[in-house]
A and B are shown apart, each in its own frame.
Chain A
Amino acid sequence: GNSVTQMEGPVTLSEEAFLTINCTYTATGYPSLFWYVQYPGEGLQLLLKATKADDKGSNKGFEATYRKETTSFHLEKGSVQVSDSAVYFCALSDPRRANSKLTFGKGITLSVRP
């Protein structure tokens, strides 16, 4: 079946540090890939997405590139801010069906200190 693996957390960084959060997936075919973020006290928000190989999703300074050859969708940001402190979830949608369920990774908590 489909699965998503995220690096273990939590992660603590200083402001302006470079961020990489690893995500790899297992799926049959070509799923769409997503990063969702949950800020403290809030719900899940879509951060970025990519729907086909080599696509790059980007938003709020975050980027992730769909790498079919390594089945990865790592999240990066060049300079994190305190306001980026949140839980980040990598997810994929079943490629065999439109509007199908999402499969999530375990999530990773990022804390950015001033």
Chain B
Amino acid sequence: EAGVTQFPSHSVIEKGQTVTLRCDPISGHDNLYWYRRVMGKEIKFLLHFVKESKQDESGMPNNRFLAERTGGTYSTLKVQPAELEDSGVYFCASSLGDSKTQYFGPGTRLLVL
């Protein structure tokens, strides 16, 4: 069974540009989460989808971040326009039903110059 996959693995962009990150959860997992780790700090929650609905978006830093999960399968996280402080590693995770165990992808390393 394939795990959680993320694309791209790395992205280097300039301040003001737009970047879109993609996450494909484990097949059949209805819960999808986005997290972010800024250099040397905690991994912080961004938002949680249940199927295509946003269950909790309390961790989204501002309106430059837009997450979607059309059809309840893969998800995208768009940052527009990117700022220097958006640099970090963006992790996606998925889980099934009421399970508390989340399975993480390899992350996307974003560098904003």
Q: Footprint of B on A, CB under 8 Å?
A: 4, 32, 34, 36, 42-46, 49, 51, 89, 91, 93, 98-107
Complex: chain A residue closest to B98, CB-CB: A98
B91 at interface, CB cutoff 8 A: yes
Complex: chain B residue closest to A31, CB-CB: B100
B61 at interface, CB cutoff 8 A: no
Across the interface, do A51 and B100 meet the contact criterion of CB distance under 8 Å? Answer: yes
Complex: chain B residue closest to A89, CB-CB: B43
Chain A binding surface SS class: strand
Q: From B35, B42, B50, B103, give the contact of A46 (CB < 8 A).
A: B103
Q: Footprint of A on B, CB under 8 Å?
A: 4, 6, 31, 33, 35, 37, 40-45, 48, 50, 56, 59, 91, 93, 95, 97-107
Across the interface, do A106 and B101 meet the contact criterion of CB distance under 8 Å? Answer: no
Across the interface, do A107 and B43 meet the contact criterion of CB distance under 8 Å? Answer: yes
Question: With A99-B31, A102-B45 known to touch, is A45 a contact of B56 (CB < 8 Å)?
Answer: no
Complex: chain B residue closest to A104, CB-CB: B43
Chain B residues with Cβ below 8 Å from A104 are 35, 42-44
Interface centre among B6, B104, B105 (most CB of A within 10 A): B104
User: Across chains A and B, which 8 residue pairs bring their CB atoms closest together, nearest first?
Assistant: A43-B106, A44-B104, A98-B98, A101-B45, A104-B43, A32-B100, A93-B100, A99-B31
Chain B residues with Cβ below 8 Å from A102 are 33, 35, 43, 45, 93, 102
Tell me the bound Cα distance from A106 to B39 in angstroms.
Answer: 10
B74 to chain A minimum Cβ distance, whole angstroms, is 17
